[in-house]
Amino acid sequence: MDSVESRDVRPPQSLRSKSGNTNRSKVKACNRCRQYKVRCDSAITFPDTCSRCKKKGLDCNVDSAFKPTPTRNLLEEVTSQLTSIQQTLQQRDSSVYVFQEHVCRGISLAARPNVDSMNNNSRELGFIAKQLTADGNSVLERQELGGVVLESSTISDLVEHFRANHWRYFPILDEDFSATTLLQASPLLFWTVVSISSRYHVSHSHLYNKMAESYTKLLAEALVTSLRSIHAIQAVLYHCLWPLPVKTQDSDPSWTQCSLAVSAALQLGLHKPGFEKEYMREYSSNARAISPEEKNIRSKTWMGCVYVSTR
């Protein structure tokens, strides 16, 4: 009888491997906890996931043959990934620099309209333009938008502030642009430049909120009536780069506005250099050839569309 009691009656090894209670005493830590040398409660939770892996949502495996990877190898892998990311960012910054260098080569904004023609468009899109003539040059005395009056000195400050702090990051306008040339080219472009510049101007930042509602109406009217002007497309592109503030990202309309600008650029054939006449209604079969200045501005505007829509 004594011999029977002393006999080993434990279950076979095959059965013990399936029993959590039998194997629990052999389990000390899962593979991940062993790799990072942290406390593991696999001995308690086995065969379930340990507390650490469960909290982090990781796969929890127990392998007696597992050997931790040396920390040096992990550091080299992370360093390699970081280097790859830095190289990618450098390539992206380089492509932006090349874009800016290319568009800076423009000869001029476009053929300048006659100064006398400003009076005919002085009330277009709800703004009032007045002029003074001094030494034969046209000088903007004041501009008004939605009851907000800007004196000549204020306009000059805002345009120069835009040139120094915004234009150099997106130079689709010619470097020698002025308040007069902007207004002649497009009222929307003029007020876009003024609005963007006033936002962070030290002396004129109070104008930004005052003009916001009226500028939004001006922009909406231009978008609704279809963009048939290259300068209007430029205005929308600048607005999309420096849009009006919104409460949430999903309420930002600049993505839709950018799509409209790209669509208008396609309708004007900006994406097909050399085929301008096929897309420009003002040209007939006997019309003059398009000037190099006009080709340049079309090219820069299309590059701006690509940049803004893929940024």
Please list, in sequence order, all residues whose beta carbon lies within 8 angstroms of the beta carbon of residue 175, skipping any fewer than 6 positions away.
104, 106, 163, 167
The DSSP result for 119-140, as a single string, is GGGTTGGGEEEEEEEETTEEEE
pLDDT over 80 at 203, yes or no: yes
Sign of torsion, CA 95 100 101 106? Answer: positive
Measure Cα distances from 10 to 60, 186, 199, 267 in Å: 29, 93, 82, 85
Distance between CA 34 and CA 30 in Å, rounded? Answer: 6
Helices and strands per DSSP (H, E), number in the chain: 14, 3
pTM above 0.85, yes or no: no
Tell me: pLDDT of 188 over 90.
yes
From 25-29, 151-155, 183-187, the region with the lowest mean pLDDT: 25-29
- What pLDDT is attached to residue 307? 92
Domain ranges of the chain: 10-56, 104-309
Q: What's the confidence (pLDDT) of residue 166?
A: 92
Are 106 and 291 a contacting pair, CB within 8 Å? no
Q: What is the tens place of the pLDDT at every residue in 78-120? A: 788 888 887 777 766 555 455 445 444 433 333 333 333 333 4
> What are phi and psi for residue 309, nearest 5 degrees?
-75, -15
Give the residue from 236, 254, 230, 153 showing the smallest Cα distance to 193: 236
pLDDT in tens, 12-63: 444 444 444 444 446 678 988 988 888 999 888 888 889 999 988 888 888 8
Interior angle at CA 229, CA 228 and CA 232, nearest 5: 110
